[in-house]
Amino acid sequence: GEEDGPRGEGEMVVRGLRVSLIGAPNAGKSLLTNVLLGRKVTAVSSKVNTTTSQTFGVLTEAAGGEGAKVETRLMIFDTPGVVDHKHYRNTKQRERVSDAYATAALCDALVFVVDAERQIRKPDPRVERLIIEYRKEVESFSGGREGGEPAAMPKSLLAMNKVDLVRGGDKTDLLELARSLNDLGSFDQVFMVSSLKRTGTDDLLDYLKSISAPLKPGKQGNWSSAMGESESSHNYETFAVELVKEQVYRRLNGEIPYVLRINPVSCKFLRDGSLRIEQDLLVNHIKKKKIVVGKRGQAIGQIGCRARAQLERQLEMKVHLILNVKVKKQE
């Protein structure tokens, strides 16, 4: 067919893959997402459930010398931590888990992330139940895709994360854990990775690129806009919310509950080419506002200063970051 015919010199072949990272809270999905993409798109914290909504980033790589060139686009979603249905804390958590699986249903590859060191040191039976539930969800992905095409079964991968923390004597336990989890989940591939040490992540990334599929010429533009490749203020706005969220958790760890929400107010380019971003940090009580603001404004000042510095490094431009702490009454 035409797909198999010779390509003209210099012709660009565009390939794409939608990837969803799924796993229990604090399995290390956010850091793994950042490592795979090569930049920070999602908050990383030691607190559980810091990812409360779908976030995604895009990795675009071009390869090829003379002749046909290949551009690979990976859309990687970092989903909220999922728990089995017996352990929903509230309706919002149930909705987040539902959203995570809804995103997964639209993806071509799913990466189930497990904190291997923790599972060896202190086995959590919920992880096994979660994998069984995950497998059932994957097998139910039989709906249609764009254009009424039947949905192909997504590739299912297991990422054994934090293997750098596994002691030498526990390596046998690591292999045994991988075997037992693979038996439960029937994964297509198993990867041993350490997001922190950047080991094994290149193997995972290479595999994801290898299973990407050619994008139809008419669909390439859609992928670009959907994946946030255009330098719109909306993408910067979402990015800024994640960085501020991370700094809030780092600065106020243990002092601020999850009722804090960050609402983007505005994000616009100024005449001098700099970017002005304004956000509202919402809490539900005046006492919590005092904690976030800090004595003489020191806490919120430090949060804003560090987030702005990160934004300027990542975006390579001057950034003005305005943070307002407000009390939002319970509805």
Residue 138: count of CB within 10 angstroms of its CB: 21
Q: Please tell me the predicted confidence (pLDDT) of residue 299.
A: 92
Beta-strand relationship, 109-115 and 155-161: parallel
Q: What CA–CA distances, in Å, run from 67 to 88, 223, 262, 285?
A: 54, 24, 48, 63
197 phi and psi, to 5 degrees? -90, -5
pLDDT band, residue 279 (cuts 50/70/90): very high
Residue 116: count of CB within 10 angstroms of its CB: 28
277 Cα distance to chain centroid: 22
Q: Please tell me the predicted confidence (pLDDT) of residue 248.
A: 85
Q: Which fold has domain 2-226?
A: Rossmann fold (3.40.50)
The domain ranges of the chain are 2-226, 233-327
Query: Whole-model pTM?
Result: 0.59
Bridge partners (DSSP) listed for residue 157: 111, 189
Model confidence at 303: pLDDT above 80: yes
Q: Which fold has domain 233-327?
A: GMP Synthetase; Chain A, domain 3 (3.30.300)
Average of pLDDT values for 220-231? 41
pLDDT band, residue 180 (cuts 50/70/90): very high
Higher pLDDT residue, 114 or 53? Answer: 114
Average of pLDDT values for 55-84? 66
